[in-house]
Amino acid sequence: MKNAVRINLILNFLIISFFSISMQAQSPCITINDVSFINPSECDKSDGSITIDAVHEFGNPLQYSIDGGRIWVNSSTIGNLEAGVTYRLELRDFLGLCFESYGTIELEHPECNTDPCVTNPFSITNYPDQNICVGGSIQLNVAGGVSYSWAPALGLSATNIANPSANPSTTTTYTVTVTNADGCTATDEITINVSENPIANAGVDATICAGSSTPLNASGGSTYQWSPATGLSNASIANPIANPSATTTYTVVVSNANGCSSSDQVVVSIAASLTVNAGDDMTICPDETTSLSASGGSGGSTYLWSPIEGLSNTTVANPTVTISEAATYCVTVTDANGCSGSDCIFIQIDTGCELDEEGDAEGTGNTINNCTDGPVVLACQDKIICPTGQTQLVVNGGIRWEWTPATGLDNPFSAIPIASPSVTTTYTVTGWDENDCFATEEVVVTVDPNKPCDSTPPPCIEDLIPEEKMCIDPNDNLVDVCLDFSEEDLSNYTISVGGNVPSVVHGCDFEMLIAYPYNILPNQTDNYKIKSWQINDTYYSGLFNSVEELVTWMQSIDPTGNWILAPTMSSIIGGNTANIYHTLTITQQSTTMEIGLSPNMTQTPTGTLVQVDMTGKDSEILTVVEVATGCVDELLIERCN
């Protein structure tokens, strides 16, 4: 009976334990509080021990194994242990229903340890972090081992050497593993910090006159170094003053606070010196009007003559002068770069000369022109061409002309010769009128070796705006400006004021012309005979088959009349105000009809009137651009007191 009771008690205990274990399956049933060790006293003795402090969750007795569970003991202290042996500690309850693993334990004794990496620990010196700039590189160099391994490989010249070159594009941390001869390893981390480079800006190129200076203006960093230092006031600042004796390319190295740098260049060019020539000294008669002519400038140059007495204009290259006493006139020429030069001319008065009547004598050059009223000869502006280029010269005024020198001209006797000189040349054109009186003008054709020859723009024939400056009353709001070209030619130009298109009101500078209406011709393709055309006291005759042939014939007879076809007026217009024109009598050969084309006076605008709104403005600039040539002219309009 007692045995049955004992068996029941055991079964109840097992059932309760199993039920408890099942309920607690999610947590350990054995808790290890501590494991302490006593190492052997000597390398060859087995007097070491392990003591375990652990409890079962229900207080059940525990068993212990140090051989992975083959042999179990009840004592929490296990003795007779050796150094250098690996023990695997396991725990269970005495029923074998609950287990807990501690892991491996190896007791130590210094005399028993044969691992060289333990007995002689291996280490390397910490390598300092490095700084480089974007695009730069640095050589790393660790030591103490027989083999090396770097990671990551990105940006390294090699990953298996002690001293690879590193050039990462962004900040990167490299890990190096060093192995010594015993096979022991050590690691270190090295960070390469990558800093951005500054953006260097040396400023814009500049052109100065010989002996002048200009400030340089660099930006982008905290320190600056210019080279060469020749001609600089200070080579170590951002904005030195440059005064080179020859065209120089300056390089500036710009550095930032991280020591990173970049460079840029600026060219300071020395403009060619101006050699100004006011002309040869001359002798004229008292109160005779003659022309002065300054040379040495180019397109965009300005002129200033002094004194002002006797001069028609002090700001043009070729003013006229009328004096009764000897005088010296000096001209200062300033080019587009601000470079200038001066020259003077002495004009002597010949008190013993007497002027002949108009047209009775010929003149030569700009010495004594015995015609009191010579022709008004206007040449085109100075030209600039490439070494193999060409340009057209134009002269207005006179009936015959001669250009000197003839070198480089296709026809030195033409009003519109083509010039293709090989070197810079000053051409002088002399124009004669019907009385054989003359006047001269100069045109400088500059051969620029730096000008590309792939295209040569059409020439700029004359100023697009007659004046350079216009003063208006402080109370004026609408200002009328008369431009030289007609309304019919308006499409050949662009006109703007402050970037806006101004109003074109109507024509201006009206000219009285002779008009022969041709619409009374019954058949413009029939054969016609010009019975007579009287100009002054001379009669002319000829043949034509169309109105175009008639205009050509009239121009050949009267070249100074500048006869043209005006379809909008159904007329042939032109005429020289010095001539008297009579009826043009024409017969039609097929009908023997006689037709008389009577001349009529007509008023034709030769200019375009532009109206500029100055409301609320103290000054404004009117700009005209010739579409075909790209020539630009400007008029300053400002209120004057």
Give me the CATH topology for the region 25-112: Immunoglobulin-like (2.60.40)
Closest to 36 in 3D by CA, of 67, 76, 68, 72: 76
What is the C-alpha separation between 449 and 205, in angstroms, rounded? 19
Strands 320-323 and 288-291: antiparallel
The owner of tokens 């192995």 is: 179
Specify the range with the lowest mean pLDDT, choosing from 167-181, 186-200, 239-253, 570-584.
570-584
pLDDT confidence band for 615 (50 / 70 / 90): confident
Helix, strand, coil distribution of the chain in percent, nearest 5: 10, 45, 50
Radius of gyration in angstroms for the set of CA atoms belonging to the chain, rounded to a whole number: 54
* Stretch 88-99: mean pLDDT: 90
**Of 95-104, 149-158, 245-254, minimum mean pLDDT range:** 95-104
Q: Is the pLDDT of residue 588 over 70?
A: yes
pLDDT at residue 160, rounded to an integer:
94
Q: What is the pLDDT of residue 271?
A: 84
User: Would you place residue 12 in the very low, low, confident or very high pLDDT band (cuts 50, 70, 90)?
Assistant: very low
Query: What is the pLDDT at residue 605?
Result: 79
Give percent above pLDDT 70 in the chain: 85
CATH of domain 118-195: 2.60.40.10
Residue at token pair 């010594």:
180
Mean pLDDT over the full length of the chain: 82
Give me the CATH topology for the region 276-354: Immunoglobulin-like (2.60.40)
pLDDT of residue 524: 64
SS3 611: strand
In which residue are the tokens 């000197």 written?
404
Residue 333 amino acid letter: V
pLDDT confidence of residue 114: 65
Q: Which pLDDT does position 177 carry in this prediction?
A: 94
Q: What is the pLDDT of residue 176?
A: 94
- CA 431 – CA 37 distance, rounded (Å): 127
Higher-scoring residue by pLDDT: 421, 497? 421
What per-residue confidence (pLDDT) applies to 226?
Answer: 95
> Domain locations in the chain?
25-112, 118-195, 206-270, 276-354, 355-461, 463-641
Q: What is the pLDDT of residues 386-407, one digit of tens each?
A: 888 888 776 655 677 788 998 8
Looking at residue 485, its pLDDT comes to: 80
- 134 pLDDT band, cuts 50/70/90, is very high
Q: How far apart are the first and last CA of the chain?
A: 144
From residue 395, how far is each of 181, 380, 381, 636 by CA, in Å? 98, 6, 10, 27
Which segment, 47-56, 102-111, 579-588, is predicted with the most confidence on average? 47-56
Q: What is the pLDDT of residue 9?
A: 33
554-577 pLDDT, tens digit per residue, is 999 899 888 988 877 788 888 888
pLDDT over threshold 60, residue 125: yes
pLDDT at 356 over 50: no
Report the CATH fold assignment for 355-461: Immunoglobulin-like (2.60.40)
Compute the distance between CA of residue 431 and CA of residue 438 in angstroms, rounded to an integer.
5
- Dump pLDDT digits (tens) for 281-313: 888 888 888 888 888 777 668 889 998 888 888
Across 156-160, average pLDDT: 95
pLDDT beyond 70 at 1: no
Ranking 104-118, 416-430, 440-454 by mean pLDDT, the lowest is 104-118
Quote the CA–CA distance of 481 and 479 in Å, as a whole number: 7
Q: Whats the size of the chain, residue-wise? A: 641
pLDDT digits (tens, 9 = 90+) for 493-537: 888 886 677 888 777 877 778 888 887 777 666 788 888 899 988
Helix (H) or strand (E) holding 554: helix 547-557
Residue bearing the bigger pLDDT, 380 or 158:
158
pLDDT of residue 362: 35
Residue 156 confidence (pLDDT) above 90: yes
Higher pLDDT, 75 or 210: 75
Residue 464 predicted with pLDDT over 90 = no
The mean pLDDT of 78-91, rounded to a whole number, is 90
* Under 8 Å between Cβ of 448 and 615: no
Report the pLDDT averaged over residues 28-35: 91
- pLDDT for 543 beyond 90: no
| DSSP per position, 189-231 | EEEEEEEPPP--B----EEE-TT--EE---BSSSEEEEE--TT
pLDDT at position 462 is 56
Span of 155-169, 374-388, 529-543 with lowest mean pLDDT: 374-388
Lookup: tokens for 88: 């695997």
pTM (2 d.p.) = 0.39
Main-chain dihedrals φ then ψ at residue 12, nearest 5 degrees? -60, -40
Asked whether the predicted pLDDT for residue 337 surpasses 70, the reply is yes
Cis-peptide into 599, omega within 30 deg: no
User: What pLDDT does 113 receive?
Assistant: 66
